[in-house]
Amino acid sequence: MSEPARTIRQLHAAFTASAISPVAVTEEYLARIAALDPKVGAYLTVTPDEARAAATAAEARYRAGRPLSALDGVPVALKDVFCTRGVRTTCGSKILETFVPPYDATIVARLRAAGAVILGKTNMDEFAMGSSTEHSAFQVTRNPWDLARVPGGSSGGSAAAVAGGLAAGAFGTDTGGSVRQPAAFCGVVGLKPTYGRVSRYGLIAFASSLDHVAPFAHDVADAALLLGATAGHDPLDATSVDAPVPDYVAALAGGVAGLRIGVPDEYFGAGLDPEIERAVRAAIEVLRDLGAGVERVSLPTTEYGVATYYVVAPAEASSNLARYDGVKYGLRVPGGKDLVEMVSRTRAAGFGAEVKRRIMLGTYALSTGYYDAYYGQAQKVRTLVRREFEAAFARVDLLAAPTTPGVAFKHGEKADPLAMYMNDVYTIPASMTGLPAISIPCGFNGSGLPIGLQLIGRALDEATLLRAAHAYEQATTWRERRPEVA
């Protein structure tokens, strides 16, 4: 059972030409999910009834010649971190196993307004804390390229859904690389926009200053389309940026001639898989051949990225997750003799080990007497990293680097939390600076596992980022390869 290699744009064109109906396409995806997802484990919740209703409505609009947008009738998947009105939203955690939000996240509302068909909610590391989707409280997600391997994380379910042909596009969240890393592992495009470009309202917070809503797609143009449908100021998110949203799809043309691309030395150091280095350097040569200027740059603070991130993110998480206490929604473990015992028992039973570890780390980092040494210091380092990137972007238009130091690993392979954390070494800097970054397929290793090229751009300049990514993609054939889930 193979997915017809169709992009969102091709679907829209086919719907418009009445070559195929949105209902038929939705049925096709639902059938693929029913047949293949037991192997992949991408979805936590499938919503066939809602999907069929949305597809039927889309079909009527196409028939009337009035589709809502280029996304009308397109089946997409959402990481289970986005609140969906009336549909259970677990965040991959036992503590929210029964939580049914009474409201839609802004991106969900925007997708619905664009006519998108939501197929369901995808698996994730609990509260988006992880890089393998092994820390979900409910199930393991497998990489469609090799079911023995992880899809990456924390948005592994969404990445696997797109890679495995179980959705035409998907949304995840990227806090330290949680979209770019699984995109690289699963051979799809993952686009983390500028912090504030897409509203976080309704995204269940992990680390507020680092969380980004980010799409997965089969190709760059689809990613541009998904970003365009969801970007823009939201009065419900005080950190959302009030800036015009360009037509990202229209901005794809133009190539990279004249663009200056910086290659940071620190992203090619010890720990980088030589096969990945070869693929990424080859990709940079392709960009040079297309007319881009390539130069070495240095980002010396890169080595502090992981340490800084693992202070800031847990600190914010310890605060954001304080609300899960068994009082208002979600899990409550009864039988405690008083309030403190009820809250303790609920949190002890409701959170997994990784979440508890980060709550403890974060609580410590914010404690009186330690705040300055940890959280305060981390914020200063963050400022230095930001300045360093600003200085680099005075010289170059884009940075090119690997997305991850290694390819998709086997389940259980990285049992040591620190080894897991090091997976994010190349993705964390763009998270901490809020700069837009994209991961696109740039080859396969000897075992046929995908490799990701990461491009990082200037704040709010997703258009240039997408244009360069698109130029590279069009000059290569990696996107044509799809995994065969059997």
- Kindly state whether residue 229 participates in binding other proteins, applying the rule CB under 8 A: no
At 3, is the secondary structure helix, strand, or coil? coil
CA distance 35 to 289: 43
CA distance 263 to 109: 38
CA distance 261 to 229: 28
- Kindly state whether residue 82 participates in binding other proteins, applying the rule CB under 8 A: yes
CA distance 376 to 305: 15
CB of 329 to other proteins, least distance (A): 7
- Kindly state whether residue 86 participates in binding other proteins, applying the rule CB under 8 A: no
Return the residue of 186, 366, 407, 425 that touches other proteins, per CB under 8 A.
366
Specify the stretch interacting with other proteins by CB under 8 A; choose among 26-34, 249-257, 327-335, 426-434: 327-335
CB of 116 to other proteins, least distance (A): 19
Return the residue of 34, 236, 253, 349 that touches other proteins, per CB under 8 A.
236
Residue type present at position 445: N
Based on CB atoms, which residue is closest to other proteins, 90 or 404? Answer: 90
- Kindly state whether residue 451 participates in binding other proteins, applying the rule CB under 8 A: no
CB of 120 to other proteins, least distance (A): 18
- Tokens 């409910």 belong to 138
- Kindly state whether residue 387 participates in binding other proteins, applying the rule CB under 8 A: no
Based on CB atoms, which residue is closest to other proteins, 164 or 193? Answer: 193
At 454, is the secondary structure helix, strand, or coil? strand
E runs forming strands in 99-224: 117-122, 169-174, 189-192, 212-217
Span 185-224, contacts to other proteins by CB under 8 A: 200-205, 207-209
Based on CB atoms, which residue is closest to other proteins, 185 or 195? Answer: 195
Active site residue: 21, 132, 136, 154, which one? 154
- Kindly state whether residue 63 participates in binding other proteins, applying the rule CB under 8 A: no
CB of 34 to other proteins, least distance (A): 29
**Measuring CA to CA, which residue among 243, 229, 39 is closest to residue 144?**
39
**Positive or negative, the Cα torsion across 415, 183, 8, 102?**
positive
Based on CB atoms, which residue is closest to other proteins, 292 or 312? Answer: 312
How many C-beta atoms surround the C-beta of residue 211 within 10 A?
25
- Kindly state whether residue 335 participates in binding other proteins, applying the rule CB under 8 A: no
- Tokens 């763009």 belong to 430
How many C-beta atoms surround the C-beta of residue 103 within 10 A?
13
- Kindly state whether residue 329 participates in binding other proteins, applying the rule CB under 8 A: yes
328 is catalytic: no
240 is catalytic: no
- Tokens 């990514």 belong to 469
Span 253-272, contacts to other proteins by CB under 8 A: none
Number of amino acids touching other proteins (CB under 8 A): 43
Q: Side by side, which strands form the sheet with 117-122?
A: 43-46, 117-122, 75-79, 169-174, 212-217, 189-192, 437-444, 450-456, 398-402, 260-264, 293-297
- Kindly state whether residue 337 participates in binding other proteins, applying the rule CB under 8 A: no
At 155, is the secondary structure helix, strand, or coil? coil
178 is catalytic: yes
Active site residue: 79, 121, 192, 414, which one? 79
Cβ burial 459-474 (10 Å sphere, 16+ → b, else e):
bbbbbbbbbbbbbbbb
Q: Do residues 93 and 350 make contact, with C-beta atoms less than 8 angstroms apart?
A: yes
CB of 170 to other proteins, least distance (A): 18
Active site residue: 93, 158, 178, 199, which one? 178
CB of 412 to other proteins, least distance (A): 29
- Kindly state whether residue 367 participates in binding other proteins, applying the rule CB under 8 A: yes
- Kindly state whether residue 476 participates in binding other proteins, applying the rule CB under 8 A: no
Return the residue of 22, 73, 92, 101 that touches other proteins, per CB under 8 A.
101
- Kindly state whether residue 131 participates in binding other proteins, applying the rule CB under 8 A: no
| Residue 340, burial from CB neighbour count under 10 angstroms (0-12, 13-18, 19+) | exposed
DSSP element (H, E) containing 76: strand 75-79
- Kindly state whether residue 91 participates in binding other proteins, applying the rule CB under 8 A: yes
Q: Do residues 317 and 154 make contact, with C-beta atoms less than 8 angstroms apart?
A: no
Binding site for other proteins (CB under 8 A): 82-83, 89, 91, 96, 99, 101-103, 105, 200-205, 207-209, 235-239, 315-316, 318-319, 322-323, 325, 327-329, 339-340, 343, 363, 366-368, 371, 375
Catalytic center residues: 79, 154, 178
